[in-house]
């Protein structure tokens, strides 16, 4: 039975790149444990001889030609949504600390 | 809720084409109704300029004798997770606030190509995560029949808008209930088509193996027309399937001899008495009209919600990883480095339900837990598919309640996320197996609408719409 510890929640938050407040850590510890306990009812189900389903309508790989298509997107318009732009490029914070 | 009702969509379009009706006036009627009913909080933004300009253009085309299309001048409202070119698209989330769509969803493109006019963006649970619109980062939409109650979710803004005649139709998305539950709670028609029938390109992704797009309308006939316009393969969404070669508006209305299975698991003791009675009355009327009613069972159905709440968060955690504060959306500008910028932006930009689902998804996909949770859920999904196939070998359609309860009170379930999840219990099955399912108004119980859920095998959307239209007629 999944009963998450504070460390578990912090690890999940770290893996998910989510900064949490102290109150959220407490709240999520209880709520996420409850949700995981609910879904654990699947553990007892007999699934022998069954394969997992990944695609419900039976499609397999769908290919298209590897060629550039012009959808008419305007770079200037796409850049309008970017938080920080410098010389028509997306500016991000430094990666190496 | 006294409001001027719209004509059927096909009549509106014919009127605009012939010049008897003016698109400009239809758009003004929609705008006025939205402004008058502002206190229901169904709408995030009215697209005044865009809608008026297009209406003007449509009227000009009509007066110069040009063929416009099957939705000529018909106003509609898009759920705010559809990208509408040039309009702000937020998915009701703070992290996408201020995002202007630089391109357009295929579904919107197809509606506009037939002359429809998008007049507004409707409220939803942020990223479509929820069953009440209470998870919207902005505000909660009110139920059109009782303002102290929820409209259902996540397409709650769309359903309230259609019920209050703000527009003849609205678009919705349904990952686990999100078109059908609000349709049931607001007394309108909500269609979840077969998985892949409508392109999701340009619609904010939630859980990609489950997400479908569907219309919310006042009648089945309107829903069929809107589906017919939106359906079909699209290069931009490789999961799309071939559409029916026949129009989805050509419906067989004969109920005689139609085999309909009443799904035991959707009519069990958890169904509230008033809801149950309304559905049982509807079944009696179907019987009287010649339908062959029998009982049918999907024994693993009670497991469907557990399957859903593993697969859905897993896919959500993947789809929502793109909101990283760098390329678009909210960005925390005080972060010290790139890694902190991700965590700070996501931590401050996402609401609680998005965070819950991202973390559950991360948990069930992490090494060591993947087999026990994710893979097992995908395998139980196979079990459900086989049980549905066996049931559809015996009956043409299945029927049951949409929701075990009438619309609940605002605030009733917000303290307990699991209780909120359980509201979807009767609907997630259709998403997990990819079949079409529709909610139509079955009647009223204690002054609140009750939805009847009808289901058909995959790709039998036209047949399902025929049954729904015939059922609508016997219930009228």
Any idea what the CATH number is for the domain that residue A18 is in?
Answer: 1.10.20
Residues 61-100 in B contacting A (C-alpha not used; CB under 8 Å): 98-100
- The Cα B431–Cα B177 span in angstroms is 8
B42-52: burial string, b at 16+ Cβ within 10 Å, e else = bbbebbeebbb
pTM of the model: 0.97
B378, pLDDT greater than 60: yes
Hey, of A62, A83, A88, which one would you mutate to test binding to chain B, going by the most B CBs within 10 A of its CB? Answer: A83
pLDDT at B32: 97
Residue A72 domain flag = no
Mind telling me how many Å the CA of B99 is from chain A's nearest CA? 6
Residue A38 domain flag = yes
Mind telling me how many Å the CA of A75 is from chain B's nearest CA? 9
Residues 201-230 in B contacting A (C-alpha not used; CB under 8 Å): 209
Q: Is B340 in CB contact (< 8 Å) with chain A?
A: yes
Q: What is the ipTM of this complex?
A: 0.96
Q: Is B121 in CB contact (< 8 Å) with chain A?
A: no
Residue whose tokens read 């009648």: B219
Residues 11-30 in A contacting B (C-alpha not used; CB under 8 Å): 12-20, 24, 27-28
Closest Cβ–Cβ partner in B102, B363, B433 for A36:
B363
pLDDT at B155: 98
Q: Is B259 in CB contact (< 8 Å) with chain A?
A: no
Residues of A in contact with B303 (CB under 8 A): 41-42, 45
Exposed, middle or buried by CB within 10 Å (0-12, 13-18, 19+), for A1?
exposed
pLDDT band per the 50, 70, 90 thresholds, residue B205: very high
Q: What is the 3-state secondary structure (H, E, C) of A23-78?
A: HHHHHHHHHHHHHHHHHHHHHHCCCCCCCCCCCCCCCCCCCCCCCCCCCCCCHHHH
The domain total for chain A is 1
Q: Is A82 in CB contact (< 8 Å) with chain B?
A: yes
Mind telling me how many Å the CA of A64 is from chain B's nearest CA? 8
Q: Which residue range forms the structural domain that includes residue A17?
A: 6-44
Which tens digit of pLDDT belongs to each residue from B379-396? 999 999 999 999 999 999
Residue A77 domain flag = no
Q: What is the DSSP string of B180-194?
A: HHHHHHHTSEEEE--
Beta bridge partners of B261: B294, B398
Contact (Cβ atoms closer than 8 angstroms) between residue B276 and residue B399: no
Query: What integer best gives the mean pLDDT of chain B?
Result: 97
- Report which secondary-structure segment, H or E, holds B397: strand B397-401
B79, pLDDT greater than 90: yes
Contact (Cβ atoms closer than 8 angstroms) between residue B405 and residue B419: no
Q: Is A93 in CB contact (< 8 Å) with chain B?
A: yes
B112, pLDDT greater than 70: yes
pLDDT per residue rounded down to tens, chain A (97 residues) = 579 999 999 999 999 999 999 999 999 999 999 999 999 999 999 999 999 999 999 999 989 889 998 888 888 888 999 999 999 999 999 988 7
Positions of B marked catalytic = 79, 154, 178
Token duo for residue B107: 């579904």
Handedness of CA B437, B452, B275, B445 (dihedral sign): positive
pLDDT at B379: 98
- The Cα B48–Cα B24 span in angstroms is 11
**% of residues, chain B, pLDDT over 90:** 97
Look at residues A29, A69, A41, A78 and name the one whose alpha carbon lies nearest to residue B355. A29
Which tens digit of pLDDT belongs to each residue from B24-55? 999 999 999 999 999 999 999 999 999 999 99
pLDDT at A1: 59
Residue A29 domain flag = yes
pLDDT at A69: 86
Look at residues B146, B217, B164, B168 and name the one whose alpha carbon lies nearest to residue B3. B164
B2, pLDDT greater than 70: no
pLDDT at A77: 86
B61, pLDDT greater than 80: yes
pLDDT at B268: 85
Token duo for residue A91: 């500016």
Mind telling me how many Å the CA of B146 is from chain A's nearest CA? 30
* Mean pLDDT of the B328-344 span: 96
Contact (Cβ atoms closer than 8 angstroms) between residue B223 and residue B189: yes
Token duo for residue B8: 């059927």
Residues of B in contact with A74 (CB under 8 A): 102
Residue A94 domain flag = no
Which tens digit of pLDDT belongs to each residue from B289-308? 999 999 999 999 999 999 99
B438, pLDDT greater than 70: yes
Residue A56 domain flag = no
Residue A58 domain flag = no
Beta bridge partners of B400: B453
Q: Specify the pairing of strand B292-296 against strand B259-263.
A: parallel
Closest Cβ–Cβ partner in A12, A50, A93 for B363:
A12
Q: Is A60 in CB contact (< 8 Å) with chain B?
A: no
* Mean pLDDT of the B190-204 span: 98
- The Cα B211–Cα B192 span in angstroms is 10
- The Cα A19–Cα A12 span in angstroms is 10
Residue A30 domain flag = yes
B1, pLDDT greater than 60: no
Domains parsed from chain B with CATH numbers: 9-230 (3.90.1300.10)
Q: Look at B209 and A62 and tell me if their CB atoms are within 8 Å.
A: no
Contact (Cβ atoms closer than 8 angstroms) between residue B403 and residue B181: yes
Which tens digit of pLDDT belongs to each residue from B146-185? 999 999 999 999 999 999 999 999 999 999 999 999 999 9
């Amino acid at each position: 039975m999944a009963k998450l510890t504070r460390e578990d929640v912090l690890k999940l938050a770290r893996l998910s790149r989510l900064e949490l407040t102290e109150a959220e850590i407490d709240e999520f510890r209880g709520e996420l444990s409850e949700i995981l306990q609910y879904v654990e009812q699947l553990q007892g189900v007999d699934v022998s001889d069954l394969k997992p389903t990944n695609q419900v309508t039976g499609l397999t790989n769908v290919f298209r030609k590897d060629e550039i298509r012009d959808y008419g997107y305007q770079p200037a318009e796409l850049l309008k949504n970017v938080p920080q732009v410098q010389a028509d490029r997306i500016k991000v914070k430094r990666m190496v600390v | 809720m006294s409001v001027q009702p719209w004509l059927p969509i096909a009549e509106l379009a014919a009127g605009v084409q012939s010049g008897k009706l003016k698109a400009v006036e239809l758009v003004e009627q929609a705008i006025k109704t939205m402004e008058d009913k502002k206190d229901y909080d169904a709408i995030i933004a009215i697209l005044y300029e865009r809608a008026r300009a297009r209406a003007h253009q449509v009227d000009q085309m009509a007066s110069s004798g040009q063929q416009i299309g099957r939705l000529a001048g018909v106003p509609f409202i898009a759920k705010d997770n559809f990208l509408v070119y040039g309009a702000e698209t937020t998915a009701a989330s703070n992290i996408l606030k201020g995002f202007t769509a630089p391109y357009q969803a295929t579904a919107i493109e197809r509606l506009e190509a037939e002359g429809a006019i998008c007049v507004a963006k409707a409220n939803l649970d942020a990223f479509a995560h929820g069953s009440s619109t209470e998870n919207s980062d902005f505000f909660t939409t009110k139920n059109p029949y009782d303002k102290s109650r929820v409209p259902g979710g996540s397409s709650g803004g769309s359903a309230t808008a259609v019920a209050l005649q703000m527009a003849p139709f609205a678009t919705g998305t349904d990952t686990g209930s999100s078109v059908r539950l609000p349709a049931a709670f607001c007394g309108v028609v909500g269609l979840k088509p077969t998985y892949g029938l409508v392109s999701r390109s340009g619609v904010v992704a939630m859980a990609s193996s489950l997400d479908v797009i569907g219309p919310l309308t006042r009648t089945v006939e309107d829903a069929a027309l809107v589906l017919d316009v939106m359906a079909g393969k699209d290069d931009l969404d490789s999961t799309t399937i071939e559409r029916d070669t026949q129009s989805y508006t050509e419906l067989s209305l004969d109920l005689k001899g139609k085999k309909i299975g009443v799904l035991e698991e959707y009519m069990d003791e958890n169904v509230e008495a008033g809801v149950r009675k309304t559905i049982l009355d509807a079944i009696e009327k179907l019987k009287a009209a010649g339908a062959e009613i029998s009982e049918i069972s999907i024994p693993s159905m009670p497991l469907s919600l557990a399957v859903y709440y593993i697969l859905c968060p897993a896919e959500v955690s993947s789809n929502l990883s793109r909101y990283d504060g760098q390329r678009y959306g909210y960005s925390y500008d005080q972060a010290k480095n790139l890694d902190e910028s991700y965590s700070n932006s996501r931590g401050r930009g996402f609401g609680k339900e998005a965070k819950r689902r991202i973390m559950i998804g991360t948990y069930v996909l992490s090494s060591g837990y993947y087999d026990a949770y994710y893979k097992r859920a995908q395998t139980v999904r196979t079990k459900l598919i086989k049980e549905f196939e066996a049931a559809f070998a015996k009956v043409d359609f299945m029927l049951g309640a949409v929701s075990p309860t009438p619309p609940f009170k605002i605030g009733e379930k917000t303290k307990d996320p699991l209780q909120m999840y359980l509201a979807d219990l009767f609907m997630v099955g259709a998403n997990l197996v990819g079949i079409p399912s529709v909610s139509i108004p079955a009647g009223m119980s204690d002054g609140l609408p009750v939805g009847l859920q009808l289901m058909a095998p995959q790709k039998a959307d036209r047949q399902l719409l025929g049954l729904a239209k015939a059922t609508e007629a016997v219930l009228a």
